[in-house]
Amino acid sequence: MDIATLSSKFQISIPKAVRHENSWKAGQQFAFLPKGTGVLLVPVPELSELAGMAKGAKLHDFRDRKDRY
């Protein structure tokens, strides 16, 4: 388990082992998702990483907002 300390400027350095294991780079963006009494840190994917994600999805007969009041 790696531990980091919150600085007086409210910054946290991610331990090198964690950065290396996840291939995180400087300048990468992250989302903070509330989870119980803590937060989940999730990298925001690049647009190019999302290409092909919906492959095989239905192009018709999908539910949309038109069926709501």
Per-residue confidence (pLDDT) for residue 33, from 0 to 100:
95
The string of pLDDT tens digits covering residues 22-54 is: 999 999 999 999 999 999 999 998 888 787 877
**Integer Cα distance of 11 and 22 in angstroms:** 20
Q: How far is CA 1 from the centre of its chain?
A: 21
| Third-level CATH fold of 1-45 | Pemi-like Protein 1; Chain: D (2.10.260)
Mean pLDDT, the chain, rounded, equals: 86
Q: What is the DSSP letter of 48?
A: G
**Domain spans in the chain, listed from the N-terminal domain onward:** 1-45
